[in-house]
Chains A and B, each alone.
Chain A
Amino acid sequence: MHPVRKQRLYLVLFIIVFSSAAVGLVTYAMRGNINLFYAPAEVAEGKAPAGQPIRVGGMVVEGSVKRADDSLETRFEVTDYKASVAVVYVGILPDLFDEGQGAVASGKLDSNGVLQASEVLAKHDENYMPPEIMDALEQSGYDHKGVKQ
């Protein structure tokens, strides 16, 4: 074989081997490190699996936020106005987290159907609404103030 061709062949082989290793790594990393979003109504219907990492988002129900007196535990409910899901989070909540605002919690559902959240995301500016919540509200047929459309 011509030396230049031979080199090119080795090069292609190297790239193929290296890329397949990378693809393997990616597939491995994807397992268990991605999580699916569920609207509160879907959780209420029992569509969300318990014990697996998921995200649930919606509007934080007015009057539902209860902070413990002696720890950093916070309990609240998120709703798409069709159903609500109870969430427990231990830690410091983001600044823009508030009642009547959108929030996405990620964590695992326990056997009582309560989401044990490891992370809570709130929206980051006045007008912005995470797209997942937008869709969840659209499907339930309410706007973000809870007015039936």
Chain B
Amino acid sequence: MIPEMGHFALIIGLALAFLLATVPAWGAWRRNTYAMALAPRLAIGLLVFVAISYGCLTVAFLQDDFSVSVVAANSNSLLPVIYKFSAVWGNHEGSLLLWALILCMWTAAVAIFSPQLPLLVLSRVLAVMGGVGVGFISFSLLTSNPFARLLPSIPADGNDLNPLLQDPGLIIHPPLLYMGYVGFSVAFAFAIAALLGGRMDASWARWSRPWTNVAWAFLTLGIMLGSWWAYYELGWGGWWFWDPVENASFMPWLAGTALVHSLAVTEKRGLFKSWTVLLAIFAFSLSLLGTFLVRSGVLTSVHAFATDPARGMFILVFLAIVVGGSLVLYALRAPAVSSRVSFSWVSRESLLLFNNVVFTVATLTVLFGTLFPLIVDALGMGKYSVGPPYFNAVFVPLMALLAPVMAFGPISRWKRDSTQRWKAELLLPGVAAVLCAITLPMLQADYNLWVALAVLLAAWLVFGLLRDTWFRMGGAAGFPRGLRRITPSYWGMVLAHLGFAACIIGVVATSQYAIEHDLKMSPGDTDSLAGYDFRFIEVAPVRGPNFLADEARFEVTRDGEFVAFMAPQKRRYLASGSIMTEAAIDPGVFRDLFVAMGEPIGDSGAWAIRLHYKPMIRWMWVGAIFMAFGAFTTVLDKRYRRQRSRAASAADGAEYAR
């Protein structure tokens, strides 16, 4: 009964989404206030029904209702409850429903938290989001119904959740990632609304900016969690594989990063308007493309599910409508929103422009590398694959180009600045950065030029930021009163840029200093790497809730001092019979130790063992967390709230309502 209720609620949701896409849009066109005023209510109703539907599916999982085919294929009565909860989105059908639910959450959030928006704009924004909702809910209902039953032959027990997904990191990775992906639909909806209205000014950017920053922050966290999960769960110690599906989440992030920066220019200076609109369309289209790549199964990837060609076709058509439609609208309307303000070459505008060019080019090169195998295959020229060396060769130089310019950004002035001032401001940070680059890598035994370069770039960024913060607070005289003068959006920028610096250090130090040993070890053997002695004590059988495992036990010492006890496992899951490696990790600020088991070798009790020493790998993830929290912080800025109280006086709204 409950699954049918869920199915029914989803159908009602589709109807509401359809109404949301049409009625307010019609109202905005005919200037019908009643029709427009329906938009926020429809948005909330839509959320309620999709949430009911999602709740019903969750209940089916918790109750082990194996008559529902999704539950039978992805759950098991022995599965721990927390994983039954996350199993809902550990499969194609459920993850699409989650996607639809999050879209409805964003739609309702726009409806609730935007009383400052003129009704005309709000109704257009919500209508666009309703349209996207129609696409996704009908995709779910027509091609991948999560509530389909297996009648009359109900299996006695389920197939179990893929063991790779039975992990705490995977409980929150997909929802966060989707929050980011789908969050760009808000930026997209604002952009389309602006094109429809033919009007775009500083207040447009001010409305759109907090939403974009929040979506970007979620996407950052989602990608970071994915990388962290790959590191400790996939069992071979890598943290980024340039896998097509990783790229699918990374491309919207790159485009989103460009968007976040170009919105700053649009808000503060009223420039780059049509470019900002194009980026918003681009970022959301890449989110949709990502969905297509993941869901259609056209690519070989860790994330690919068993697939059905109808699904790929549906998303491809949907993608064509969204991209095609919005680009046509853009072509028709963009001239109307273009700007007529000039700026000098030595100014913050041109620095942000540089940022935009770099990130756009980075997006395009990743896009090219990801789609190349598909295009060549479609042309019948063979089945190629593009590996990590390509992406590293293209991406790393681009980022290295970006970092030196980044230090100038915060310190520079809008409209016109002077190189003399830059020189005066940044001389000290520059000297300090060079000193760091010369000295810090000496802490390691052999001086590594790549690490020195990374330290140079990161220190240059950090000291530049410190100099600017110092300057803004009014120097030593202004402390501590001056600190309060600094706005949350500035703090957010500082946090995010510091995070980027931490990422540079983490990525380069890990890739340069990491030591990996794959070897055969028997109990009693010892292997040393980077000064740590790993002693293999024994292998013992262990029983988990839904698996049996061989557990290898290691004692790690350094110069005779005890460091850690590590116990990686080789698990065999009972329901599916699949084998899984569970790595053991001893984390630290400056180094991680990583042990994983391969297969047993021979009959003497020896195993293939993988030992890794990974310096500073955490810096990368901590850096990503900094970036995300930076973006969240900007939303606290008073100017986004001030706008609301002013709008309450309706002076602003009147000119829009006309």
Interface residues, chain A, with chain B CB atoms under 8 Å away = 3-4, 7, 10-11, 14-15, 18-19, 22, 25-26, 28-30, 32-37, 55, 67-72, 91-96, 104, 106, 121, 124-128, 130-132, 135
Contacts and interface: CB of A to CB of B under 8 A. Distances in A.
Interface in B37-90: none
B298 A131 contact: yes
Contacts of B305: 125, 127-128
B602 interface: yes
A34 B369 CA distance: 10
Contact of B390 (A33, A68, A125): A33
A18 B385 contact: no
Residue among A71, A92, A93 with most chain B CB within 10 A: A92
B239 interface: no
A19 B360 CA distance: 10
A2 to B, nearest CB: 10
Contact of A93 (B357, B393, B398, B599): B599
Closest CB pairs A-B (n = 3): A92-B598, A37-B383, A127-B306
A70 B306 CA distance: 38
B602 A69 contact: yes
B159 A95 contact: no
Interface stretch (B141-149, B318-326, B460-468, B572-580): B572-580
A25 B390 CA distance: 10
Contacts of B493: none
Interface in B368-387: 368-369, 372, 382-387
Given A67-B601, A104-B300, 4 more contacts: A35-B384, A37-B385, A96-B578, A131-B297
11 contacts: A25-B397, A30-B386, A36-B382, A36-B384, A71-B520, A72-B518, A93-B598, A124-B302, A128-B306, A130-B300, A131-B297
B236 interface: yes
B389 interface: yes
Nearest to A4: B342
Contact of A92 (B383, B385, B608): B608
A33 B580 contact: no
A92 B581 CA distance: 11
B365 interface: yes
> DSSP majority for the B interface?
mixed
Contacts of A67: 599, 601-602
A72 B372 contact: no
Residue among A3, A91, A126 with most chain B CB within 10 A: A126
Contacts of A18: 357, 361
A14 B164 CA distance: 47
Nearest to B581: A95
B203 interface: no
A121 B162 contact: no
A101 to B, nearest CB: 11
Contacts of B383: 36-37, 55, 132, 135
B109 interface: no
A44 to B, nearest CB: 17
B368 A92 contact: no
A1 to B, nearest CB: 13
Contacts of A96: 578-579
A35 B164 CA distance: 28
Contacts of B386: 30, 33-34
Nearest to B604: A69
Given A25-B393, A72-B598, A3 B342 contact: yes
B610 interface: yes
B394 interface: yes
Nearest to A72: B608
B235 interface: yes
Contacts of A4: 340, 342
A15 B357 contact: yes
A33 B598 contact: no
Nearest to B235: A95
B300 A26 contact: no
Given A28-B393, A29-B394, A92-B518, A131 B578 contact: no
Nearest to B596: A92
B598 A26 contact: no
B304 interface: yes
B384 A126 contact: no
Nearest to B603: A69
B519 interface: yes
A34 B384 contact: yes
B382 A37 contact: yes
A22 B363 CA distance: 11
A35 B394 contact: no
A91 B516 CA distance: 12
Contacts of B345: 7, 10
Contact of A26 (B365, B576, B608): B365
Given A93-B599, A127-B306, A30 B235 contact: no
A86 B410 CA distance: 58
A27 to B, nearest CB: 10
Contacts of A22: 361, 364-365, 394, 398
Nearest to A125: B162
Contacts of B361: 18-19, 22
B576 to A, nearest CB: 7
